[in-house]
Amino acid sequence: MSQEILEYISRRKKEINAMIMAHFYQPPEIQDVADFVGDSLELARLAAVADADVIILCGVSFMAESAKILNPSKTVILPEPTAGCPMADMVTGAALRDKKAQFPNAVVVSYVNTSAEVKAESDVCCTSSNAIAVVNSIPNDQQILFVPDRNLGSYIARQTGRDMILWEGCCPIHDQVSREQVEEQKRAHPGVPVVVHPECPPDVTLMADAVLSTAGIIQYVGSRPEPEFIIGTEEGLLYKLQKTYPDKRFYLARSDFRCQDMKSITLPVLARSMETLEHQVEVPEDIRIKADQALQRMLAIK
**Residue 286, number of CB atoms within 10 A of its CB:** 9
**Residue 128, number of CB atoms within 10 A of its CB:** 26
Q: Element (H or E) spanning 52, and its range?
A: none
pLDDT tens figures, 268-300: 999 999 999 999 999 999 999 999 999 999 999
**CB-based contacts of 108: which residues, under 8 Å, 6+ apart?**
96, 100, 121, 122, 123, 124, 145, 147
Of 129, 107, 97, 90, residue with least CA distance to 215? 129
Please state the CATH superfamily assignment of the domain spanning residues 88-171+290-300 in this structure. Answer: NadA-like (3.40.50.10800)
pLDDT tens figures, 203-244: 999 999 999 999 999 999 999 999 999 999 999 999 999 999
pLDDT tens figures, 18-75: 999 999 999 999 999 999 999 998 999 999 999 999 999 999 999 999 999 999 999 9
Distance, CA of 131 to CA of 158 (rounded, Å): 12
3-class secondary-structure state, position 225: coil
Helices marked H in the chain — which ranges? 2-16, 28-33, 40-49, 61-70, 93-102, 116-120, 131-136, 150-160, 172-175, 179-188, 202-205, 214-223, 236-244, 267-276, 285-300
Distance, CA of 165 to CA of 149 (rounded, Å): 11
Q: What is the mean pLDDT of the chain?
A: 97
The pLDDT value recorded for residue 159 is 98
Position 289, amino acid: I
Of 66, 54, 64, residue with least CA distance to 20? 54
Bridging pattern class, strands 18-23 and 36-38: parallel
Distance, CA of 71 to CA of 69 (rounded, Å): 6
Same fold, 2-84+262-283 and 173-259: yes
Does the domain formed by 2-84+262-283 have CATH 3.40.50.10800?
yes
The domains of the chain are located at: 2-84+262-283, 88-171+290-300, 173-259
Position 261, amino acid: D
Averaged pLDDT for residues 105-130? 97
Please state the CATH superfamily assignment of the domain spanning residues 173-259 in this structure. Answer: NadA-like (3.40.50.10800)
